[in-house]
Amino acid sequence: MFEDFTPMPVLLSYLEKLVAFDTRNGVGQELPCANYLESVLKTHGPDRLKVGTVARSRNRADGAYVLAQWGTPHILINVHLDTVPSGQGWSTDPHILTRKGDAVYGLGAADIKGAIACVLACLDARPAKDVAVLFSGDEEQGSEVMEQIIARGDMSSAPMAIICEPTGALPGLRHRGFVSYTQEFTGPGGHSSAADHTPAPVLRGARVACALGDYGDAHKDVGPEGFKGLCMNAGSLQSDGAHNVIPTQAELRMSMRPPPGDDVTLRANQVRNIMTQMGPGAKVTELAQHSAFSCDDIKAFASVLGPLAGQGIDLPYWTEAAMLSEAGKNCIVFGPGHINVAHAPDEFVTLEQLNAALPVYARALSGGFE
């Protein structure tokens, strides 16, 4: 039985090492962390072990991943190893794991290096059987690593997958898709006294933003219960102007989150058409387009989830479960910690949450049975 399966000292030792790696998306390095994970996984005798790198866009360092598998995998456990930037407001060093009472603080503790530490502690406790483990980068900005993992076939042949995110140690069964565009407006610029006769990049961007808002308002009843609406968002409109200067350029950034069951590609095309019609001649660039996610068959996870079976929840955020589901895997999202402390200063995960997640990972790693 797994009720007494609480290797907390070992788990926290792993988490301390993982938090110390700077895997901040955009400024950190993923490969050193992947190499460390390879060295740990190697001690557990996998039948296959591979480290891969992926060239990423926007002048970022190469992304990285490590895949290990034992036997004929029934389940793939996937955890992303990158984090968001640390930002301002931390009361402790974000790369030093700090314990305060029943919680441990550090960048990635909740999202989602705590899950990696759980997996490694479980592997130390008992042999792995018919399972694959994939630690992958670039989840926080673009998912370019997962895209290549799927294209290369480096996700194992397991028909099921657990994608680890902070779900409060409950199985996540559905979430929205995600679409994001940027649009660039230009003009000659000048003194604001000439505004009546000079192209106005900010005003053009604002008109597009208003049109997008109208489109979102017209579709607030789309989607199943719990996921109504498109979550249309005009995130920013920035320029090089001032209150008395006509800008020479402006950039609008928007996002939309279509609900499960909606046609994300159709929505994306409709949004792009609005942007090009309302802002003719302004360059539109797609930043992301990801499908929504719904678990195919939660009953298949009953032996792995144990007493948590039947406690599925909806998630407010996007995950790479959508990509692995599209690639043919029956997925759930599961992990320790809560999303409300992720991406924030003084990110933390409680020991209670880590203990709650351990039995699920232990069952998955040992073939799905107690």
**pLDDT at res. 3:** 46
**pLDDT at res. 231:** 97
pLDDT digits (tens, 9 = 90+) for 30-56: 999 999 999 999 999 999 999 999 999
Angle between helices 8-20 and 31-42 (to 10 degrees): 150
Q: Are residues 245 and 171 in the same domain?
A: no
Percent of the chain with pLDDT over 70: 98
Residue after which a domain boundary falls, among 290, 320, 355: 290
Give the structural domain span for 100: 8-175+292-365
Q: What is the mean pLDDT of the chain?
A: 95
Nearest to 359, CA basis, from 162, 173, 172, 174: 162
pLDDT digits (tens, 9 = 90+) for 83-125: 999 989 999 999 999 999 999 999 999 999 999 999 999 999 9
Q: Is 218 exposed, middle or buried (0-12, 13-18, 19+ CB in 10 A)?
A: exposed
Q: Are residues 71 and 169 in the same domain?
A: yes
Question: What residues are paired with 286 via a beta bridge?
Answer: 181
Q: Are residues 125 and 205 in the same domain?
A: no
Residue 237, helix vs strand vs coil: strand
**pLDDT at res. 309:** 92
Which pTM value belongs to this model?
0.89
**pLDDT at res. 148:** 98
Q: Are residues 144 and 12 in the same domain?
A: yes
CA–CA dist 28, 15 (Å, integer):
18
Q: Are residues 171 and 243 in the same domain?
A: no
Q: Are residues 171 and 305 in the same domain?
A: yes
CA–CA dist 247, 68 (Å, integer):
53
Q: Do residues 79 and 116 make contact, with C-beta atoms less than 8 angstroms apart?
A: yes
pLDDT digits (tens, 9 = 90+) for 161-191: 999 999 999 999 999 999 999 999 999 999 9
Q: Residue 193 is part of a domain; what is its CATH number?
A: 3.30.70.360
**pLDDT at res. 142:** 85
Q: Are residues 203 and 270 in the same domain?
A: yes
Does 370 fall in a domain?
Answer: no
Residue after which a domain boundary falls, among 227, 261, 290: 290
**pLDDT at res. 368:** 65
Q: Are residues 277 and 304 in the same domain?
A: no
Q: Do residues 24 and 83 make contact, with C-beta atoms less than 8 angstroms apart?
A: yes
Active site residues: 139
Q: Are residues 270 and 298 in the same domain?
A: no
Residue after which a domain boundary falls, among 290, 310, 338: 290
What distances in angstroms separate CA 42 from CA 65, 159, 193, 238, 262, one per listed residue? 14, 24, 69, 48, 42
Structural domain total, the chain: 2
Q: Tokens 């998955």 sit at which residue? A: 364
Q: Are residues 254 and 338 in the same domain?
A: no
Q: Are residues 325 and 238 in the same domain?
A: no
Q: Are residues 219 and 91 in the same domain?
A: no
